[in-house]
Structure 1
Protein backbone atom coordinates (compact mmCIF):
# COMPACT_ATOMS: atom_id res chain seq x y z
CA UNK A 1 0.00 0.00 0.00
CA UNK A 2 1.29 3.43 -0.87
CA UNK A 3 1.95 6.00 1.78
CA UNK A 4 -0.50 8.87 1.83
CA UNK A 5 0.34 12.45 2.63
CA UNK A 6 3.15 14.64 1.41
CA UNK A 7 6.06 12.76 -0.07
CA UNK A 8 9.52 14.05 -0.79
CA UNK A 9 8.83 13.83 -4.52
CA UNK A 10 5.58 15.78 -4.14
CA UNK A 11 7.24 18.46 -2.03
CA UNK A 12 10.07 18.83 -4.54
CA UNK A 13 7.64 19.05 -7.44
CA UNK A 14 5.58 21.72 -5.67
CA UNK A 15 8.73 23.66 -4.82
CA UNK A 16 9.88 23.45 -8.43
CA UNK A 17 6.53 24.69 -9.68
CA UNK A 18 6.58 27.61 -7.27
CA UNK A 19 10.15 28.45 -8.28
CA UNK A 20 9.11 28.41 -11.94
CA UNK A 21 6.29 30.79 -11.07
CA UNK A 22 8.73 33.10 -9.33
CA UNK A 23 10.98 33.11 -12.39
CA UNK A 24 8.02 33.87 -14.63
CA UNK A 25 6.91 36.62 -12.28
CA UNK A 26 10.28 38.30 -12.68
CA UNK A 27 9.63 38.51 -16.41
CA UNK A 28 6.50 40.64 -15.93
CA UNK A 29 8.15 43.89 -16.88
CA UNK A 30 8.54 47.15 -15.03
CA UNK A 31 5.71 48.88 -13.25
CA UNK A 32 6.86 52.33 -14.33
CA UNK A 33 4.64 52.33 -17.43
CA UNK A 34 7.56 52.57 -19.88
CA UNK A 35 6.56 49.53 -21.89
CA UNK A 36 6.00 51.53 -25.04
CA UNK A 37 2.24 51.44 -24.72
CA UNK A 38 1.94 47.83 -25.85
CA UNK A 39 0.43 46.33 -22.70
CA UNK A 40 -3.29 46.78 -22.42
CA UNK A 41 -3.50 48.34 -25.86
CA UNK A 42 -3.53 45.11 -27.85
CA UNK A 43 -7.30 45.24 -28.07
CA UNK A 44 -7.63 49.01 -28.23
CA UNK A 45 -8.55 49.29 -24.54
CA UNK A 46 -7.10 51.48 -21.86
CA UNK A 47 -4.62 49.77 -19.51
CA UNK A 48 -7.11 49.89 -16.63
CA UNK A 49 -9.88 48.39 -18.73
CA UNK A 50 -7.52 45.74 -20.12
CA UNK A 51 -6.40 44.75 -16.62
CA UNK A 52 -10.01 44.52 -15.49
CA UNK A 53 -10.80 42.25 -18.44
CA UNK A 54 -7.82 40.02 -17.61
CA UNK A 55 -8.89 39.83 -13.95
CA UNK A 56 -12.43 38.99 -15.00
CA UNK A 57 -11.22 36.11 -17.15
CA UNK A 58 -8.92 34.80 -14.44
CA UNK A 59 -11.66 35.16 -11.84
CA UNK A 60 -14.10 33.19 -14.00
CA UNK A 61 -11.53 30.39 -14.41
CA UNK A 62 -10.87 30.29 -10.67
CA UNK A 63 -14.57 30.35 -9.73
CA UNK A 64 -15.22 27.41 -12.04
CA UNK A 65 -12.28 25.53 -10.53
CA UNK A 66 -13.55 26.22 -7.01
CA UNK A 67 -17.01 24.99 -8.01
CA UNK A 68 -15.37 21.77 -9.22
CA UNK A 69 -13.78 21.23 -5.83
CA UNK A 70 -17.08 21.93 -4.08
CA UNK A 71 -18.91 19.46 -6.32
CA UNK A 72 -16.35 16.69 -5.74
CA UNK A 73 -16.37 17.28 -1.99
CA UNK A 74 -20.18 17.01 -1.94
CA UNK A 75 -20.26 13.90 -4.14
CA UNK A 76 -17.29 12.13 -2.50
CA UNK A 77 -16.95 13.14 1.17
CA UNK A 78 -14.15 10.60 1.66
CA UNK A 79 -11.85 12.90 -0.33
CA UNK A 80 -12.33 15.83 2.08
CA UNK A 81 -9.10 15.34 4.05
CA UNK A 82 -6.98 15.56 0.91
CA UNK A 83 -8.99 18.08 -1.10
CA UNK A 84 -9.94 20.65 1.53
CA UNK A 85 -6.48 22.31 1.72
CA UNK A 86 -6.31 22.55 -2.07
CA UNK A 87 -9.86 23.92 -2.26
CA UNK A 88 -8.97 26.50 0.38
CA UNK A 89 -5.95 27.57 -1.67
CA UNK A 90 -8.16 27.99 -4.75
CA UNK A 91 -10.55 30.10 -2.66
CA UNK A 92 -7.59 32.29 -1.62
CA UNK A 93 -6.63 32.66 -5.30
CA UNK A 94 -10.17 33.78 -6.06
CA UNK A 95 -10.00 36.42 -3.32
CA UNK A 96 -6.61 37.64 -4.58
CA UNK A 97 -7.81 37.92 -8.18
CA UNK A 98 -11.09 39.61 -7.27
CA UNK A 99 -10.44 41.51 -4.03
CA UNK A 100 -13.37 43.92 -4.32
CA UNK A 101 -16.09 41.27 -4.52
CA UNK A 102 -16.50 37.53 -4.36
CA UNK A 103 -17.93 36.30 -7.65
CA UNK A 104 -20.54 33.59 -7.94
CA UNK A 105 -19.10 30.13 -8.42
CA UNK A 106 -19.13 28.74 -11.93
CA UNK A 107 -20.96 25.60 -12.89
CA UNK A 108 -19.05 22.36 -12.52
CA UNK A 109 -20.39 19.19 -14.00
CA UNK A 110 -18.58 16.00 -13.27
CA UNK A 111 -19.06 12.74 -15.09
CA UNK A 112 -16.95 10.89 -12.56
CA UNK A 113 -18.66 8.14 -10.64
CA UNK A 114 -15.74 7.19 -8.42
CA UNK A 115 -13.60 9.31 -6.10
CA UNK A 116 -10.46 8.49 -8.12
CA UNK A 117 -12.07 9.62 -11.37
CA UNK A 118 -13.31 12.80 -9.71
CA UNK A 119 -9.81 13.59 -8.44
CA UNK A 120 -8.41 12.97 -11.95
CA UNK A 121 -10.98 15.44 -13.32
CA UNK A 122 -9.86 18.02 -10.77
CA UNK A 123 -6.23 17.45 -11.80
CA UNK A 124 -7.18 18.08 -15.44
CA UNK A 125 -9.10 21.22 -14.42
CA UNK A 126 -6.07 22.49 -12.48
CA UNK A 127 -3.84 21.91 -15.54
CA UNK A 128 -6.31 23.78 -17.75
CA UNK A 129 -6.45 26.65 -15.25
CA UNK A 130 -2.64 26.83 -15.12
CA UNK A 131 -2.58 27.03 -18.92
CA UNK A 132 -5.24 29.76 -18.91
CA UNK A 133 -3.35 31.87 -16.36
CA UNK A 134 -0.10 31.41 -18.26
CA UNK A 135 -1.77 32.59 -21.48
CA UNK A 136 -3.02 35.72 -19.70
CA UNK A 137 0.54 36.53 -18.59
CA UNK A 138 1.41 37.80 -22.06
CA UNK A 139 -0.99 40.72 -21.76
CA UNK A 140 -0.92 41.40 -18.02
CA UNK A 141 0.81 44.41 -16.46
CA UNK A 142 3.59 43.83 -13.90
CA UNK A 143 1.76 43.24 -10.61
CA UNK A 144 -1.08 41.24 -12.16
CA UNK A 145 1.46 39.21 -14.16
CA UNK A 146 3.24 38.29 -10.94
CA UNK A 147 -0.05 37.25 -9.34
CA UNK A 148 -1.06 35.18 -12.38
CA UNK A 149 2.35 33.50 -12.48
CA UNK A 150 2.04 32.59 -8.82
CA UNK A 151 -1.48 31.22 -9.26
CA UNK A 152 -0.43 29.29 -12.38
CA UNK A 153 2.47 27.72 -10.47
CA UNK A 154 0.14 26.78 -7.63
CA UNK A 155 -2.28 25.20 -10.10
CA UNK A 156 0.55 23.18 -11.63
CA UNK A 157 1.54 21.96 -8.17
CA UNK A 158 -2.09 21.14 -7.37
CA UNK A 159 -2.40 19.19 -10.62
CA UNK A 160 0.65 17.12 -9.71
CA UNK A 161 -0.62 16.47 -6.18
CA UNK A 162 -4.07 15.54 -7.45
CA UNK A 163 -2.60 13.18 -10.03
CA UNK A 164 -0.68 11.39 -7.29
CA UNK A 165 -3.75 11.39 -5.04
CA UNK A 166 -5.85 9.81 -7.80
CA UNK A 167 -3.38 6.91 -7.90
CA UNK A 168 -3.86 6.37 -4.16
CA UNK A 169 -7.63 6.87 -4.08
CA UNK A 170 -9.71 3.70 -4.21
CA UNK A 171 -11.78 3.36 -7.36
Structure 2
Protein backbone atom coordinates (compact mmCIF):
# COMPACT_ATOMS: atom_id res chain seq x y z
CA UNK A 1 0.00 0.00 0.00
CA UNK A 2 1.45 3.37 -0.94
CA UNK A 3 0.86 6.55 0.98
CA UNK A 4 0.03 9.81 -0.77
CA UNK A 5 2.96 12.21 -0.93
CA UNK A 6 2.97 15.29 1.19
CA UNK A 7 1.59 18.36 -0.64
CA UNK A 8 4.15 20.62 1.07
CA UNK A 9 7.81 20.47 0.15
CA UNK A 10 10.03 21.58 3.03
CA UNK A 11 12.15 24.62 2.18
CA UNK A 12 14.60 24.62 5.04
CA UNK A 13 15.61 22.92 8.24
CA UNK A 14 12.87 22.00 10.67
CA UNK A 15 12.94 23.07 14.29
CA UNK A 16 13.45 19.48 15.40
CA UNK A 17 16.52 19.10 13.18
CA UNK A 18 17.97 22.39 14.49
CA UNK A 19 17.43 21.29 18.08
CA UNK A 20 18.78 17.80 17.38
CA UNK A 21 21.92 19.19 15.77
CA UNK A 22 22.47 21.51 18.73
CA UNK A 23 22.03 18.65 21.19
CA UNK A 24 24.36 16.45 19.14
CA UNK A 25 27.02 19.16 19.02
CA UNK A 26 26.74 19.69 22.77
CA UNK A 27 27.09 15.94 23.39
CA UNK A 28 30.03 15.73 21.00
CA UNK A 29 31.98 18.40 22.84
CA UNK A 30 30.64 17.69 26.31
CA UNK A 31 33.25 15.04 26.98
CA UNK A 32 36.22 17.02 25.78
CA UNK A 33 38.41 18.49 28.44
CA UNK A 34 41.94 19.63 28.87
CA UNK A 35 44.55 17.49 30.55
CA UNK A 36 46.36 18.82 33.57
CA UNK A 37 49.63 19.26 31.68
CA UNK A 38 48.29 21.84 29.22
CA UNK A 39 45.87 23.68 31.53
CA UNK A 40 47.61 27.12 31.42
CA UNK A 41 47.67 27.03 27.58
CA UNK A 42 44.03 25.84 27.45
CA UNK A 43 42.85 28.61 29.77
CA UNK A 44 44.50 31.26 27.63
CA UNK A 45 43.08 29.76 24.40
CA UNK A 46 39.69 29.53 26.07
CA UNK A 47 39.83 33.17 27.18
CA UNK A 48 40.78 34.26 23.66
CA UNK A 49 37.95 32.21 22.16
CA UNK A 50 35.40 33.67 24.59
CA UNK A 51 36.64 37.23 23.99
CA UNK A 52 36.44 36.75 20.22
CA UNK A 53 32.93 35.27 20.56
CA UNK A 54 31.85 38.26 22.68
CA UNK A 55 33.26 40.70 20.08
CA UNK A 56 31.57 38.80 17.25
CA UNK A 57 28.23 38.90 19.05
CA UNK A 58 28.66 42.61 19.82
CA UNK A 59 29.30 43.22 16.12
CA UNK A 60 26.14 41.30 15.29
CA UNK A 61 24.17 43.43 17.78
CA UNK A 62 25.51 46.51 15.98
CA UNK A 63 24.39 45.00 12.68
CA UNK A 64 20.87 44.46 14.07
CA UNK A 65 20.89 48.05 15.38
CA UNK A 66 21.88 49.42 11.97
CA UNK A 67 19.12 47.45 10.21
CA UNK A 68 16.51 48.53 12.77
CA UNK A 69 17.60 52.16 12.38
CA UNK A 70 17.43 51.96 8.58
CA UNK A 71 14.20 49.94 8.49
CA UNK A 72 12.04 50.80 11.53
CA UNK A 73 9.22 48.63 10.15
CA UNK A 74 11.36 45.57 10.95
CA UNK A 75 11.96 46.57 14.58
CA UNK A 76 9.23 44.40 16.13
CA UNK A 77 10.47 41.36 14.23
CA UNK A 78 14.18 41.92 14.88
CA UNK A 79 14.22 43.09 18.51
CA UNK A 80 13.73 39.61 20.06
CA UNK A 81 16.60 38.22 17.97
CA UNK A 82 18.78 41.23 18.78
CA UNK A 83 18.07 40.83 22.50
CA UNK A 84 19.12 37.19 22.34
CA UNK A 85 22.38 38.13 20.60
CA UNK A 86 22.90 40.75 23.32
CA UNK A 87 22.58 37.98 25.93
CA UNK A 88 25.22 36.03 23.98
CA UNK A 89 27.64 38.95 24.41
CA UNK A 90 27.10 38.77 28.16
CA UNK A 91 27.31 34.96 28.26
CA UNK A 92 30.76 35.12 26.68
CA UNK A 93 31.86 37.66 29.30
CA UNK A 94 31.52 40.76 27.14
CA UNK A 95 29.95 44.00 28.21
CA UNK A 96 26.72 44.73 26.40
CA UNK A 97 26.60 48.33 25.25
CA UNK A 98 22.83 48.35 24.90
CA UNK A 99 20.85 51.35 23.78
CA UNK A 100 17.42 51.79 25.31
CA UNK A 101 15.67 52.21 21.97
CA UNK A 102 17.57 49.48 20.14
CA UNK A 103 18.68 51.90 17.44
CA UNK A 104 22.19 52.30 16.11
CA UNK A 105 24.52 54.90 17.49
CA UNK A 106 25.93 57.28 14.93
CA UNK A 107 29.48 56.10 14.39
CA UNK A 108 30.21 52.98 16.44
CA UNK A 109 27.41 50.86 15.05
CA UNK A 110 27.99 51.94 11.48
CA UNK A 111 31.66 50.93 11.59
CA UNK A 112 30.88 47.67 13.40
CA UNK A 113 28.09 47.04 10.93
CA UNK A 114 30.44 47.57 8.02
CA UNK A 115 32.90 45.18 9.64
CA UNK A 116 30.24 42.51 10.13
CA UNK A 117 28.94 43.15 6.61
CA UNK A 118 32.40 42.54 5.20
CA UNK A 119 32.66 39.30 7.18
CA UNK A 120 29.20 38.13 6.12
CA UNK A 121 29.66 38.77 2.41
CA UNK A 122 30.43 35.53 0.56
CA UNK A 123 33.24 37.20 -1.36
CA UNK A 124 34.68 38.75 1.80
CA UNK A 125 34.14 42.29 0.54
CA UNK A 126 31.79 44.80 2.07
CA UNK A 127 28.50 45.37 0.31
CA UNK A 128 27.99 48.75 -1.26
CA UNK A 129 25.68 51.08 0.59
CA UNK A 130 22.52 52.21 -1.10
CA UNK A 131 21.96 55.76 -2.26
CA UNK A 132 22.33 58.05 0.74
CA UNK A 133 22.98 55.09 3.06
CA UNK A 134 26.31 55.45 4.84
CA UNK A 135 25.66 52.52 7.22
CA UNK A 136 26.08 49.79 4.61
CA UNK A 137 22.55 48.49 5.30
CA UNK A 138 20.80 47.33 2.12
CA UNK A 139 18.06 49.64 0.91
CA UNK A 140 15.23 47.07 0.82
CA UNK A 141 13.92 45.25 3.87
CA UNK A 142 14.22 41.92 2.07
CA UNK A 143 17.91 42.50 1.34
CA UNK A 144 18.52 43.76 4.88
CA UNK A 145 16.99 40.56 6.30
CA UNK A 146 19.05 38.46 3.88
CA UNK A 147 22.18 40.28 5.05
CA UNK A 148 21.37 39.58 8.70
CA UNK A 149 20.66 35.94 7.87
CA UNK A 150 24.01 35.67 6.07
CA UNK A 151 25.80 37.24 9.06
CA UNK A 152 24.07 34.82 11.46
CA UNK A 153 24.95 31.85 9.22
CA UNK A 154 28.60 32.83 8.83
CA UNK A 155 29.02 33.35 12.56
CA UNK A 156 27.21 30.10 13.47
CA UNK A 157 29.38 28.17 11.00
CA UNK A 158 32.57 29.74 12.33
CA UNK A 159 31.58 28.95 15.92
CA UNK A 160 30.68 25.36 15.06
CA UNK A 161 34.10 25.05 13.44
CA UNK A 162 35.90 26.07 16.63
CA UNK A 163 34.05 23.73 19.02
CA UNK A 164 36.90 21.25 19.29
CA UNK A 165 39.45 24.00 19.97
CA UNK A 166 37.98 24.95 23.36
CA UNK A 167 37.34 22.87 26.47
CA UNK A 168 34.07 21.69 28.03
CA UNK A 169 31.91 24.57 29.22
CA UNK A 170 33.07 27.04 26.57
CA UNK A 171 32.50 24.45 23.85
CA UNK A 172 28.99 23.81 25.13
CA UNK A 173 28.30 27.54 25.16
CA UNK A 174 29.66 27.91 21.61
CA UNK A 175 27.51 24.99 20.46
CA UNK A 176 24.41 26.49 22.04
CA UNK A 177 25.03 29.94 20.57
CA UNK A 178 25.85 28.46 17.15
CA UNK A 179 22.53 26.61 17.25
CA UNK A 180 20.75 29.84 18.22
CA UNK A 181 22.42 31.57 15.27
CA UNK A 182 21.20 28.83 12.93
CA UNK A 183 17.68 29.25 14.32
CA UNK A 184 17.93 33.04 13.85
CA UNK A 185 19.00 32.50 10.23
CA UNK A 186 15.97 30.27 9.72
CA UNK A 187 13.62 32.81 11.32
CA UNK A 188 15.06 35.63 9.20
CA UNK A 189 14.54 33.74 5.94
CA UNK A 190 11.42 31.61 6.43
CA UNK A 191 7.76 32.39 6.62
CA UNK A 192 7.95 36.17 6.77
CA UNK A 193 7.66 38.17 3.60
Using structure 1 for the length normalisation, give the TM-score: 0.77
When the two chains are superposed, the root-mean-square deviation of aligned CA atoms in Å is 2.6
1:29, CA displacement in angstroms?
Answer: 4.4
Tell whether the 8 Å contact from 2:34 to 2:42 is kept in structure 1 after alignment. no
1:56 aligned to 37, 51, 74, which one? 51
Contact 1:112 1:118 in 2 (8 A): yes
* Contact 1:133 1:148 survives alignment (8 Å): yes
Answer 1 or 2: higher relative contact order, Cα 8 Å, separation at least 6.
1
The 5 A counterparts of 1:27-46 are 27-30=28-31, 33-34=34-35, 37=38, 46=41
TM-score by length of 2: 0.69
CA shift for structure 1 position 31: 6.4
- How far off its partner does 1:33 sit? 3.9
Select the structure of larger CA radius of gyration: 2
Q: CA deviation at 1:102?
A: 3.7
Q: Deviations over 1:50-104 (max 9, x none)?
A: 10111122112111111110100111000011111111111111111115x4478
Shift of 1:127: 0.2
Moved over 3 A (4+): 29-37, 101-106
**What residue number does 1:107 align with?**
112
Which 5+ residue runs of structure 2 have no aligned equivalent?
A: 1-9, 98-107, 115-135
